[in-house]
A = this chain, B = another copy of it.
Amino acid sequence: MSEYSTLSVTQEGGVAVIELNRPDKANALNMAMWEEIGLAFRRADQESTVRVVVLRGAGKHFCSGIDLMDFASVMTGKEKCDGRRREELRRLILKLQGCLSAIEECRKPVLAALHGGCIGGGVDMVASCDMRYISAEGYLQIKEIDIGMTADVGTLQRLPHIIGDGVMRELAYTGRKVDAEEARAIGLVNRVYESPEALMAGVMETAQVIAGKSPLAIRGTKEMIKYTRDHSVADSLNYVATWNAAMLISEDIQEAMMAQMQKREPKFRD
């Protein structure tokens, strides 16, 4: 895509494919890529023909994490007042978090397809996705500990909801690799495919299945799962009742019922 310098974005039917595209840098996250990820997912949210997003990486690795050269230059500001410098740093971190939160705030499901390494900032990124799939040679690594930093763009906040607390801590403290099979066993990915090709084929197939469902119901479902993570069950039940008071009566539920009676596949408008 001419409009992005670090991403390549394509669309197949209702499925947008957002590809990290700095293969010579193993898709390391530089400032341009952070910003373009935020932008691309906000667009995917707005564009009504997009019903599902697949996130993958070009080249040998999904993502090698933050680009340290780039990061060092960003962190070295000119501000001499210690307090103001820290306020700037805090706002920079909030900004980077916001780029990844755009994945979570995108109303359409996001499927991450991992091959090769998914390291450091790459793990923060996929923790924002709805589901993760991996090819057999792939691995993940919460690498921040090895550059002497407390991970601050999502891994420590979102991963504990995906994998168990005990394993979470071991991975975060040791920074060790998690191979594909272990990733599946602990729930970090949903499935292991035998090769990157099989991975992409499999993920696209699942994505197309989801793209065939009612977009309104899919968006509501994503909203509810996200809401429930951060609220009590009682609050979540009240919220979905109010939500469906607004959204339940729709073309889609009629079409679904009609299709069921006519024993055909339903077709939903974007």
Q: How far is it, in angstroms, between the C-alpha of A232 and the C-alpha of B236 when the chains are bound?
A: 14
> Contacts A148-B268, A210-B173; is A160 near B229 (CB within 8 Å)?
yes
Number of chain A interface residues as a range? 35 or more
Q: How far is it, in angstroms, between the C-alpha of A173 and the C-alpha of B101 when the chains are bound?
A: 20
B156 touching A250 by the CB < 8 A rule?
Answer: no
Could you say which residues of chain B place their CB within 8 Å of the CB of A235? 231, 235
B156 touching A90 by the CB < 8 A rule?
Answer: no
Could you say which residues of chain B place their CB within 8 Å of the CB of A57? none
B239 touching A173 by the CB < 8 A rule?
Answer: no
Question: Is A9 part of the binding interface, using a Cβ–Cβ cutoff of 8 Å?
Answer: no
- A166 is contacted by which of B188, B240, B242 (Cβ under 8 Å)? B188
> Contacts A233-B230, A253-B147; is A244 near B152 (CB within 8 Å)?
yes
Report the stretch among A19-27, A32-40, A81-89 that lies at the interface.
A81-89
The chain B residue sitting closest to A223, CB to CB, is: B150
A170 CB to closest chain B CB, in angstroms? Answer: 5
The chain B residue sitting closest to A162, CB to CB, is: B165
Which residues of A in the span 209-251 have a Cβ within 8 Å of any Cβ on B?
209-210, 213-214, 216-225, 228-251
Question: Is A196 part of the binding interface, using a Cβ–Cβ cutoff of 8 Å?
Answer: no
A245 touching B186 by the CB < 8 A rule?
Answer: no
Could you say which residues of chain B place their CB within 8 Å of the CB of A231? 232, 235
Question: Is A206 part of the binding interface, using a Cβ–Cβ cutoff of 8 Å?
Answer: yes
Question: Is A201 part of the binding interface, using a Cβ–Cβ cutoff of 8 Å?
Answer: no
Which residues of A in the span 145-165 have a Cβ within 8 Å of any Cβ on B?
145-154, 156-158, 160-165
Supply 17 A–B pairs (Cβ within 8 Å), ascending by A.
A72-B257, A81-B251, A87-B246, A90-B245, A97-B237, A109-B169, A149-B253, A150-B217, A152-B241, A152-B248, A156-B228, A160-B161, A174-B210, A229-B233, A230-B234, A231-B235, A242-B243
Known A157-B236, A172-B225; 14 more pairs at CB < 8 Å: A82-B251, A83-B248, A97-B237, A131-B166, A145-B218, A148-B214, A148-B252, A148-B256, A148-B268, A150-B217, A169-B222, A170-B206, A174-B210, A230-B233
